[in-house]
């Protein structure tokens, strides 16, 4: 059995600019077909638009507010939201000024820089009120 603790994971920055702590993945655990990481997008910043050739991603938002663009659709995101990002579809995260946007990211197959294609598309436009503004 392999058990990792997020608090023991060293952060690093991925190609898209998000700060990652990988809690499970083939680079250092017995996992072979997927990876799980906590990603943080600092307040008022955005990731570089990109897509993954092979990996499907699940984003589960744990704190903060922002926007997620998948293809041509942009939505506000908040804690408790979960998004599915198919392989080959461009996507981008934007964190509100109010604080960092934090999420769990599951990739299958596992994340790799080699599977990441940066497209550098401009940031997603603002769309509607923040989800907590109701």
pLDDT above 60 (res 131): no
Q: Which residue has the higher pLDDT, 116 or 129?
A: 116
| pLDDT attached to residue 120 | 85
| pLDDT attached to residue 134 | 45
pLDDT by residue (tens digit) across 92-115?
999 999 999 999 999 999 999 999
Per the CB < 8 A criterion, the answer to whether 77 and 67 are in contact is: yes
How large is the average pLDDT for residues 78-91?
Answer: 98
pLDDT above 70 coverage of the chain, percent: 90
Rounded Cα distance, 124 and 98, in Å: 18
Q: Which long-range contacts (CB under 8 A, 24 or more apart) does 27-31 make?
A: 27/110, 29/2, 29/4, 30/2, 31/2, 31/110
pLDDT by residue (tens digit) across 25-40?
998 999 999 999 999 9
How large is the average pLDDT for residues 8-22?
Answer: 94
């Amino acid at each position: 059995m392999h058990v990792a603790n997020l608090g023991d994971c060293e952060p690093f920055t991925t190609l898209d600019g998000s700060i990652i702590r990988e809690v499970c993945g083939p680079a250092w655990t017995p996992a072979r077909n997927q990876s799980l990481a906590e990603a943080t997008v600092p307040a008022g910043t955005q990731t570089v638009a990109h897509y993954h050739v092979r990996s499907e991603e699940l984003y589960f938002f744990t704190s903060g507010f922002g926007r997620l663009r998948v293809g041509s659709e942009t939505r506000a995101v908040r804690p408790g939201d979960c998004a599915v990002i198919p392989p080959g579809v461009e996507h981008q995260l934007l964190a509100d000024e109010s604080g960092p946007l934090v999420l769990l990211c599951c990739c299958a197959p596992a994340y790799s820089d080699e599977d990441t294609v940066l497209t550098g598309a401009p940031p997603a436009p603002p769309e509607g009120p923040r989800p907590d503004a109701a």
